[in-house]
Chains A and B, each alone.
Chain A
């Protein structure tokens, strides 16, 4: 069973999207803590799309929640913005000093740590990002490399 919400790719729509994934995860029986992990991953992915996907014109984003057997939730986030594979994003550099620590690059790092699997596919003019969460946190992919060359 899939539920879908479509909205403008704007930050002011973020709360509505988060409310949507929150209720999907609650219906799927996810724990409160795991729902927060999901919200974090979706917030970071949505913010990336709202900021960077549509640079010349406004656009839409579609978010689908699919419940799969075995306590698995699959979130599909689709936009028609410029191609962006976040699996190729560079990992942030962690400094040991406030003055040196850079402000950027943390969002994608947070996504990687909150979900069990991330997939990306460019389909025609669409970016399709798939986030997979188990209702219990598995070994989190803190140093994953699921995007082999040629995907």
Chain B
């Protein structure tokens, strides 16, 4: 995963797989950034090929943490199997999901 800061928003780009083995690393990295004071995130899933329930939980658990801090976590560019897993888990109903990072950034409060 790589990250980039645009204005007040931290963009997190995920690649490859977010499953039982990799999800804890993502969650730990997100926790670190939150502890450093970051509260606005766009997590770009365009490069993600695979997500399991462990991956979903790591994103949800991060979003729950941010919600307590009045932060935001938007998602962008869900594709293929990742989109399908979000749909069957009804995560598309609880997250704000955008077609691109740019669209997600435009929806962030200024």
Judge if A66 is at the interface, Cβ distance under 8 Å.
no
Note all chain A residues with C-beta closer than 8 A to B20. Answer: 11, 14, 43, 47
Q: How far is the CA of A110 from the CA of B20 in the complex (A)?
A: 14
Q: How far is the CA of A103 from the CA of B60 in the complex (A)?
A: 7
Interface string of B56-96 (1 = CB under 8 A from A): 11001101100100000000000011000100111001110
Residue of A whose beta carbon sits closest to that of B51: A40
A36 touches B52 (CB 8 A): no
Contact with A98, one of B49, B80, B89, B94 (Cβ below 8 angstroms)? B94
What size tier do the contact residues of chain B reach?
20 to 34
Judge if B15 is at the interface, Cβ distance under 8 Å.
no
Q: How far is the CA of A20 from the CA of B53 in the complex (A)?
A: 20
Closest Cβ–Cβ distance, residue A108 to chain B (whole Å)? 9
Residue of A whose beta carbon sits closest to that of B96: A98
Interface string of B90-110 (1 = CB under 8 A from A): 100111000000000000000
Closest Cβ–Cβ distance, residue B81 to chain A (whole Å)? 5
What size tier do the contact residues of chain A reach?
20 to 34
Closest Cβ–Cβ distance, residue B62 to chain A (whole Å)? 10
Q: Given A14-B20, A97-B94, A99-B67, is A110 in contact with B81 using a C-beta cutoff of 8 Å? A: no
A110 touches B52 (CB 8 A): yes
B52 touches A107 (CB 8 A): yes
Judge if A44 is at the interface, Cβ distance under 8 Å.
yes
Q: How far is the CA of A96 from the CA of B94 in the complex (A)?
A: 5
B57 touches A95 (CB 8 A): no
B60 touches A40 (CB 8 A): no
Q: Given A14-B21, A101-B94, is A33 in contact with B80 using a C-beta cutoff of 8 Å? A: yes
Contact with B53, one of A15, A39, A101, A106 (Cβ below 8 angstroms)? A106
Judge if B50 is at the interface, Cβ distance under 8 Å.
yes
17 other A-B residue contacts (CB within 8 Å) besides A37-B81, A98-B94: A11-B20, A14-B20, A33-B80, A40-B50, A40-B52, A47-B52, A92-B89, A94-B93, A98-B63, A101-B60, A101-B94, A103-B57, A103-B61, A106-B56, A110-B85, A110-B89, A142-B88
